[in-house]
Amino acid sequence: GQNIDQPTEMTATEGAIVQINCTYQTSGFNGLFWYQQHAGEAPTFLSYNVLDGLEEKGRFSSFLSRSKGYSYLLLKELQMKDSASYLCAVKDSNYQLIWGAGTKLIIKP
């Protein structure tokens, strides 16, 4: 079966750095996506990785290792507005997105 694993919940302090991990086992791989979802709102796109390595976009970076079936989302200089759920999703060989259950990130002052 296909599976995406990520921690259920994480807590971090305002101004700090947090890393949210995602491991996957899917039938084929056509890229990995990270989305942010604030409570009661739609998921919004953060990043896309298809090749190994680190993609940096402002305070957010995403890393991929295809050989290990592993990705992480790195958030720097945390702000209170970063409190949200972060969803990891992989496109399989049929171009279907397989989703993780999301990581709820709580930012404390």
Partner 1 sequence: ETGVTQTPRHLVMGMTNKKSLKCEQHLGHNAMYWYKQSAKKPLELMFVYNFKEQTENNSVPSRFSPECPNSSHLFLHLHTLQPEDSALYLCASSQEQGASYEQFFGPGTRLTVL
Site residues for partner 1 per CB under 8 A: 4, 8, 30-31, 33, 41-45, 48, 50, 87, 89, 91, 95-102
Helix (H, G, I), strand (E, B) or coil at 96: coil
What span, in angstroms and rounded, lies between the C-alpha atoms of 70 and 22?
A: 6
* Minimum gap (Å) between residue 78 Cβ and partner 1: 23
Closer residue to partner 1 (CB): 8 or 67: 8
What span, in angstroms and rounded, lies between the C-alpha atoms of 87 and 39?
A: 13
Residue in the structure block whose two tokens are 């991929």: 64
Closer residue to partner 1 (CB): 87 or 107: 87
* Minimum gap (Å) between residue 101 Cβ and partner 1: 5
Helix (H, G, I), strand (E, B) or coil at 33: strand
Closer residue to partner 1 (CB): 9 or 14: 9
* Minimum gap (Å) between residue 72 Cβ and partner 1: 18
Dihedral sign of CA atoms 59, 65, 68, 70 in order: positive
